Amino acid sequence: GGAYASPQLLELSGVGQPERLRSLGIEVVHALPGVGENLQDHFASRMRWRVKNARTLNDRVRGLRGLWEGLSFVLRRKGVLSMPTLPIGAFVRTRAELASPDIQFQIFPGTYRSIEDRRLDREPGVTIAVTMLRMESRGHVHIKSSDPRRQAGIWHNLLATENDRNTIVAGMHLARRMMQAPAMQPYCEFELTPGPDARSDDDFLEYARREGAANWHPAGTCKMGVDPMAVVDPNLKVHGMEHLYVVDASVMPNVVSGNTNAPTIMIAEKAADLILARH
């Protein structure tokens, strides 16, 4: 299941947009135009700094120090390997008039060059993932074949609106100002990426488009509601179907302003109560 696989399973079973299903040779069991639509995620643009006068994961997991950290975890469950992946975070507002935060800083005590190549740099560094919490952009997930072994097509449609673009740029400026604060100067050596040559909003936006990525919090593709694009009702039952429920992050009408793991567990807990009460 999940926001990628739940719409795929429904479409393969004949539940979804009739024209799309017929074009793939799938018999329409029930027409639900919202299946696979409304894909949302948190978009993250990762900024990196070289630091000084401090140890980071870059240097703590190498050589004899790395061996010691490994033994410390195995024998005592202590050390850097016992830390969460992102031990520091902050929820911030890019504009004072906002009622709640629109950006999350996910701070990682290390640096690596790219999402694809996660080998840590040799010199100490810090990464701030400037993460958008309430994006306006909407994408979709749809099957491309009646073969269940083929992956569905995923289109995130990130940074599709002007407000989304303005928000990520404002968040990146805020992260830079934080790292340039006087209290950080004993530790902050220089900005690695996007780097000091990136000065304008356009520079930041170009970097975000090139290096940014979805933050692995997909949601919304089988959204709950009573409008024509809703897939499940308030009891998580698929509209127009009997004994068919969707229980995962895909039912969120809007992705939560934070990580999706705990809310999804809560959805499952509630679903268990609802299904037991019904049956």
200 Rama class: left (phi>0) / alpha (psi -120 to 50) / beta: beta
Residue 122 neighbours by CB distance under 10 Å: 10
Rg (CA), the chain: 22
DSSP state of 196: T
Q: Measured in whole angstroms, how far is the alpha carbon of residue 150 from the centre of its chain? A: 23
DSSP state letters, 248-279: SGGG-SS--SS-SHHHHHHHHHHHHHHHHHH-
Return the structure tokens found at 89.
Answer: 């975070």
DSSP state of 151: P
How many helices and strands (H and E) does the chain possess?
7, 11
Angle between helices 201-211 and 162-179 (to 10 degrees): 100
Does 142 participate in catalysis according to the annotation?
A: no
Which residue among the candidates 42, 142, 156, 217 is catalytic per the annotation? 217
Enumerate the active-site residues. 217
